[in-house]
């Protein structure tokens, strides 16, 4: 494996193709692997660019965003690239002023019917055109599948209403049942925006999309059924004709698992709290993605290997894309990431003993 | 209802007795109600004392701790008092230096076998004797049942290993599978300490105890089975002969529900994410406590009433102690708390229509 040369490791081109196979429901002999936040602060080459340009310039400058997207592929035998961007990116075109420091800060939160009415639904071409350029640049640089993404409407709304990240979004949780009509109007608009943004990314060349619903788990099942599911259904129906597979991630949402049963997604991304066997029983249809605890990557190599193999073992019995249960942590040693990927690629999912000879 | 006089409201003395009935498994006609952090910063009379004395002086001075414990009972028709203290209190006697600012800070975290060996198991009389005095003072001032509490060993360990509250305790999550023997030694010692601390509280007069496992939900089921459950069982067996009922609270732990099926507790306290009907199906034995989202108390009164009645409705079909799904927030309007308690007491759990005439 290369660790410092700029050339992309192509030694596992065959394995790499398996991401799309696994997302098509194929029980592949090895699990394809990518890692949430694989382009991020744990890489010194990322930090060098971040220190120089700052987050928004990195996202909005296609050459930089493409370079950062490709950085982890130069080090590791990853089976997918994921667009370097932020779930809040498309909101700028809707008229929301957002600052990143590093989490999003919305100085003028959206809380009233008038706030929602003041938002505009941009055309496909108006939404973050730099993202389309980034996607084209990445696609022309690698044959590794590229994953695009968007925030789910509910999660976008948590930030817009709260005014930024707050840990537990108590204001949003009080607002949602207090302002149901306004909430529905906001969520409808965010749904339309998300559909256009994803169609733009798909048109520009992403081969997979992931919907990040980072805060869905804050809601109980009734609230999720009312304010989450209908919008997710509309998004999934709108992008279905493109044939591009969609991965849905909700964090801390094991209480919502049965609500996800009828969601027409190709894959569910699972956080580390719920083991994949349990999820597969509760939601038998989709490919499962996940779910090593990212904190484990701070442990010694033997602990990482053991925990990784347990996840791989739990992932048997259906299609599995290996990933973390949450984003890579900035303090992760890159060597542990390399070892993790080797462990995944050396694990034979069809052999009872687990590890291949 | 009194809102400013110092006299304790005794108008609902009959209802109050129902806490012990509900914890004994009785499907009471109204739900008894108390609220986690009912003695806390949302009360101006609490803030006045806090500003004057600071957190540790409040906890460690029996007259002050008793006064603060009783404060919410003077305002509201609550069916229980809960000892004003902190889950970290008993650790001081074990040789851990803890600062509160306001969360616990452990300047010298416990991570190695030597760190654990340096801890000592204090005798019952050595553990926070001021707590016994506080309990006696509260018992002599009110006939309302008094709840004592302790942190579950796993949750105490998260703070000791991490060095304080960190939001996601990543270091602890990496440490646990890396240092299994040391972890077991630490957890065994914390279990012994917790048993002694709870027996001390019971001896001093608390009529109920609650075990706070605030961070159990960070673990997956296998880790909880290894590092959580055995210690909980030992604690519950040790206090069982006293006949004092125990409530177990794990937050964000719906993925661990089935693991709790065999836990010999009298009540499970449920956070707001999982509705009580689902919990009752998954764990049919114990009384359920919970589980209004505390953020709802920041909403208008009509929203509070509607959400409260939904929880009460979900709580039917077995014994139910009304509570929040997490602690009261400092920004909660006291008037909403008063209205909440009225709603609970006016709800007839045995009548199909819900609200009594």
Report whether pLDDT(A176) > 60. yes
- Give the tens place of pLDDT for each residue, A259-286: 999 999 999 999 999 999 999 999 999 9
Report whether pLDDT(A16) > 80. no
Q: For residue B148, which phi and psi values (nearest 5 degrees)?
A: -95, 175
Confidence band for A167, pLDDT divided at 50, 70 and 90:
confident
Contact: A275, B174; criterion CB under 8 Å: no
Contact: A295, B329; criterion CB under 8 Å: no
DSSP codes of every residue in A128-147: -HHHHHHHHHHHHH--S-EE
Range list of β-strands (E), B234-283? 246-250, 267-269
The C-alpha of A172 sits at a distance from chain B's nearest C-alpha, in angstroms, of 8
Say which of A255, A274, A329 has its CB closest to residue B273: A255
CA separation for the pair B315, B278 (Å, rounded): 10
Query: Where does residue B355 fall: left (phi above 0), alpha (psi -120 to 50 degrees), or beta otherwise?
Result: beta
Contact: B298, A274; criterion CB under 8 Å: no
User: What is chain A's percent helix, strand, coil content, to nearest 5?
Assistant: 50, 10, 40
Report whether pLDDT(B354) > 90. no
Tell me which DSSP letter residue B177 carries. H
Least confident of A134-143, B293-302, B346-355: B346-355
Tell me which DSSP letter residue A328 carries. P
CA separation for the pair A12, A79 (Å, rounded): 8
Report whether pLDDT(A15) > 90. no
Contact: B219, A294; criterion CB under 8 Å: no
Torsion (CA) B105, B111, B116, B120 in degrees, nearest 10? 0
Instruction: Tally helices (H) and strands (E) across chain B.
Output: 15, 9
Mean pLDDT of all residues in A18-22: 96
Could you tell me the two tokens for B331? Answer: 């920004």
User: How far is Cα of residue A178 from the mean position of the Cα atoms in its chain?
Assistant: 30
Contact: B173, A293; criterion CB under 8 Å: yes
Which residues in chain B have Cβ-Cβ distances shorter than 8 Å to A219? Answer: 273
Least confident of A18-22, B8-12, B192-196, B289-293: B8-12
* pLDDT over 90 percentage in chain A: 91
Mean pLDDT of all residues in A178-196: 98
| Most A-contacting residue of B260, B279, B299 (CB-CB within 10 A), to test interface | B299
Confidence band for A166, pLDDT divided at 50, 70 and 90:
confident
Which residues in chain B have Cβ-Cβ distances shorter than 8 Å to A167? Answer: 167
Report whether pLDDT(A3) > 70. no
Q: Do the beta carbons of residue A146 and residue A137 sit within 8 Å?
A: no
Range list of β-strands (E), B154-271? 208-213, 246-250, 267-269
* Predicted TM-score (pTM) of this structure: 0.93
Say which of B168, B175, B298 has its CB closest to residue A171: B298
Confidence band for B17, pLDDT divided at 50, 70 and 90:
low
Chains A, B: CB contacts under 8 A, how many? Answer: 92
Question: Sheet containing A81-82: which strands, arranged edge to edge?
Answer: A81-82, A146-151, A208-213, A246-250, A267-269, A287-292, A320-324
Three-state secondary structure string covering A21-72? HHHCCCCCCCCCECCCCCCCCCCHHHHHHHHHHCHHHHHHCHHHHHHHHHHH
Confidence band for A12, pLDDT divided at 50, 70 and 90:
very low
* pLDDT over 90 percentage in chain B: 91
CA separation for the pair B188, B178 (Å, rounded): 17
Which ipTM value was assigned to this complex? Answer: 0.90
Confidence band for B5, pLDDT divided at 50, 70 and 90:
very low
- Give the tens place of pLDDT for each residue, A229-259: 999 999 999 999 999 999 999 999 999 999 9
The C-alpha of A223 sits at a distance from chain B's nearest C-alpha, in angstroms, of 10
Which residues in chain B have Cβ-Cβ distances shorter than 8 Å to A173? Answer: 293, 295-296
**pLDDT given at position B102:** 76
Confidence band for A6, pLDDT divided at 50, 70 and 90:
very low
Could you tell me the two tokens for B299? Answer: 């909403």
Contact: A221, B278; criterion CB under 8 Å: yes
- Give the tens place of pLDDT for each residue, B282-300: 999 999 999 999 999 999 9
Q: Nearest Cα to A190, choosing from A223, A228, A163?
A: A228
**pLDDT given at position A17:** 56
Identify any residues that bridge with A146 across adjacent strands, giving them in sequence order: A81
Contact: A295, B171; criterion CB under 8 Å: yes
Could you tell me the two tokens for A176? Answer: 């949602």
| Most A-contacting residue of B293, B296, B311 (CB-CB within 10 A), to test interface | B293
**pLDDT given at position A101:** 81
The C-alpha of B352 sits at a distance from chain A's nearest C-alpha, in angstroms, of 21
| Most B-contacting residue of A295, A306, A310, A325 (CB-CB within 10 A), to test interface | A295
Q: Do the beta carbons of residue A175 and residue A189 sit within 8 Å?
A: no
Report whether pLDDT(A356) > 90. no
Contact: A221, B275; criterion CB under 8 Å: yes
Say which of A255, A275, A299 has its CB closest to residue B178: A299
User: What is chain B's percent helix, strand, coil content, to nearest 5?
Assistant: 50, 10, 40
Torsion (CA) B289, B158, A256, A176 in degrees, nearest 10? 70
Q: Which residues of A touch B (CB under 8 A)?
A: 167-171, 173-175, 177-178, 217-222, 252, 254-255, 272-275, 278, 293-300, 303, 306-307, 310, 329
* pLDDT over 70 percentage in chain A: 94
Please, what is the average pLDDT of chain A? 93
Which residues in chain A have Cβ-Cβ distances shorter than 8 Å to B178? Answer: 299-300, 303
Report whether pLDDT(B15) > 50. no
Please, what is the average pLDDT of chain B? 93
- Give the tens place of pLDDT for each residue, B222-258: 999 999 999 999 999 999 999 999 999 999 999 999 9
**pLDDT given at position B353:** 57
Element housing A247 (H / E)? strand A246-250
- Give the tens place of pLDDT for each residue, B174-221: 999 999 999 999 999 999 999 999 999 999 999 999 999 999 999 999
């Amino acid at each position: 494996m290369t660790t410092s040369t700029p050339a992309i490791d192509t030694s596992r081109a065959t394995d790499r193709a398996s991401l799309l196979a696994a997302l098509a429901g194929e029980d592949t002999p090895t699990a394809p692997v990518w890692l949430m936040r694989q382009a991020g602060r744990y890489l010194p080459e990322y930090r060098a660019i971040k220190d120089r340009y700052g987050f928004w310039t990195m996202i909005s400058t296609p050459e930089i965003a493409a370079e950062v997207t490709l950085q982890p592929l130069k080090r590791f035998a990853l089976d997918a690239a994921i667009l370097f961007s932020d779930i809040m990116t498309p909101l700028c075109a809707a008229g929301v002023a957002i600052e990143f420091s590093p989490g999003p800060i919305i100085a003028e939160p959206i809380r009233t019917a008038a706030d929602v009415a003041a938002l505009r639904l941009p055309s496909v071409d108006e939404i973050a055109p730099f993202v389309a350029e980034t996607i084209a640049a990445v696609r022309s640089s690698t044959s590794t599948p590229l994953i695009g993404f968007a925030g789910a409407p509910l999660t976008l709304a948590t930030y817009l209403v709260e005014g930024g990240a707050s840990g537990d979004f108590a204001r949003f949780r009080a607002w949602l049942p207090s302002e149901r009509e306004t909430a529905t109007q906001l969520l409808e608009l965010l749904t339309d925006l998300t559909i256009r943004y994803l169609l733009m990314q798909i048109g520009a060349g992403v081969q997979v999309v992931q919907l990040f619903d980072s805060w869905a788990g804050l809601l109980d099942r009734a609230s999720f059924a009312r304010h989450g599911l209908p919008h997710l259904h509309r998004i999934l129906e709108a992008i279905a004709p493109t044939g591009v597979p969609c991965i849905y991630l909700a964090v801390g949402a094991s209480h919502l698992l049965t609500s996800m049963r009828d969601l027409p997604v190709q894959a569910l991304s699972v956080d580390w709290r719920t083991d994949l066997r349990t999820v597969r029983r509760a939601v038998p249809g989709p490919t499962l993605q996940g779910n090593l605890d990212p904190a484990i990557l701070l442990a010694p190599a033997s602990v990482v290997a053991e925990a990784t193999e347990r996840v791989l073992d739990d992932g048997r019995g259906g299609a599995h894309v290996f990933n973390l249960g949450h984003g890579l942590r900035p303090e992760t040693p890159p060597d542990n990431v390399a070892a993790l990927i080797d462990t995944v690629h050396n694990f034979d999912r069809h052999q009872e003993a687990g590890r291949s000879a």
